[in-house]
Amino acid sequence: MPTFDPNNALMQDAVNGKVPTEQGTLVLKEFMTQSAVTKLAKYEEMTKPEKEFTYLASGPGAYWVGEGERIKTSKAQWLTAKMISKKLGVIIPVSKEFLRYSIADFFTQMRPAIAEAFAIKFDQAALFGVDSPFGQGVSVFERIKASGNSVVLNSLGNLYDELNGVMALVEDADKDVNGFTTTRRFRQKLRGTKDGNGLPIFNDATGGATQQALGLPIGYVDSKSWDYEKAALLAADWNYTRYGIPQGMEYKISEDATLTTIVDADGNPINLYERDMVALRVTQQVGFMTLTDDAFAAITPATGA
């Protein structure tokens, strides 16, 4: 029996199965490049849908010791957390001609659309809890709301002071802000802000490097993922945010489904059979969690919640 080869097999002959490893890896790379959360948060290796891990909540203490005295013993505080992955899915309608592509070529064509859809949906859930399957109070902004760690935009008269203020809120908990996230439309404000010595706080890095403000990396979120009424910028010690991807992608092709979540120009659901189209459904398990309230802070708009 010949070995299955995604470079030769056509989509019309393999309408469901696992996304070929090479194409699936490339989709994940693009997803992780486009998602602000995956760029900033700490990755946890996952081999199963659930993973328990321990993290250092506070370190051991040291003591002054006199000559001949016993050294006191103190314990580090280690806490246990459980991360559970949830299924993330996307459905993309395409023309029937795509069925004549090889599987490898098909996913090469679909890769940008799949990665963008995954990144938008994942960032929405992780940052603001929008349609989140991870539970109440897990998203970054829900943590900020619980802690009250926020500074109102334009309340201090200068964005430099406001960034310093949100960093100080995290530092009050003995944690260090190691990155910001916002949208590209806020970049103008960062670019135009100067510190007390008249020096710009923004570094527009070139050569594919990460842009920075106050020396810290900025993860840009697709505008569709952002809630402008809640926040203008988020700051965090992202070591207290974890994500994991436990298994590969799976796909299925349908030729006769009716897609109820998108409509045509007349407002009618898309019926694939009537339009001689097909739809690609891709699913992927993704895990996410935050570990504490006080590692996050936000600059919020004056009219925000």
State phi, psi for 217 to the nearest 5 degrees: -65, 150
Which of 185, 190, 184, 204 lies closest to 158, judged by CA? 190
pLDDT value at 249 more than 80: yes
As a whole number, the mean pLDDT across the chain is 86
- Encoding tokens for residue 75? 């314990």
Of 177 and 20, the one with more pLDDT: 177
- Encoding tokens for residue 295? 């590692």
Of 97 and 1, the one with more pLDDT: 97
pLDDT value of position 305: 43
pLDDT value of position 58: 58
Which of 107, 75, 78, 81 lies closest to 94, judged by CA? 107
The band of 1, judged by pLDDT with boundaries at 50, 70 and 90, is: very low
pLDDT tens by residue, 142-189: 999 999 999 999 999 899 999 999 999 999 998 999 999 999 999 999
- Is residue 218 within 8 A of residue 179, CB to CB? The reply is yes
Long-range contacts of 114-117 (CB under 8 A, 24+ apart): 114/27, 114/31, 114/90, 114/282, 115/27, 115/28, 115/30, 115/31, 115/33, 115/34, 116/34, 116/222, 117/90, 117/92
Q: How do the domains of the chain map onto residue ranges?
A: 11-55+75-300
pLDDT value at 241 more than 90: yes
Which of 139, 101, 116, 131 lies closest to 9, judged by CA? 101
Which amino acid does the sequence have at 59? G
- Is residue 284 within 8 A of residue 118, CB to CB? The reply is yes
Q: Worst-scoring range by mean pLDDT, 21-30, 102-111, 200-209, 211-220? A: 200-209
Distance CA 145, CA 100 (A): 51
Of 27 and 3, the one with more pLDDT: 27
State phi, psi for 274 to the nearest 5 degrees: -65, -30
- Is residue 244 within 8 A of residue 44, CB to CB? The reply is yes
Give the whole-number percent of the chain exceeding pLDDT 90.
Answer: 53
Over residues 52-79, the mean pLDDT reads: 64
Please calculate the CA angle 185-191-196 and round it to the nearest 5 degrees: 135
CA diameter of the chain:
89
Q: Using CB atoms within 10 Å of the CB of residue 199, give its burial: 0 to 12 exposed, 13 to 18 middle, 19+ buried.
A: exposed
- Encoding tokens for residue 275? 């339009």
Over residues 269-291, the mean pLDDT reads: 86
- Encoding tokens for residue 224? 């569709």
Given 2.60.40, 1.10.150, 2.60.120, 3.90.1690, which CATH number is that of 11-55+75-300? 3.90.1690
Q: Worst-scoring range by mean pLDDT, 123-137, 191-205, 236-250? A: 191-205
Distance of CA 241 to CAs 2, 121, 143, 271, Å? 45, 17, 11, 41
pLDDT value of position 304: 45
Kindly report the pTM of this predicted structure.
0.84
pLDDT tens by residue, 57-69: 655 555 566 566 6
pLDDT value of position 153: 94
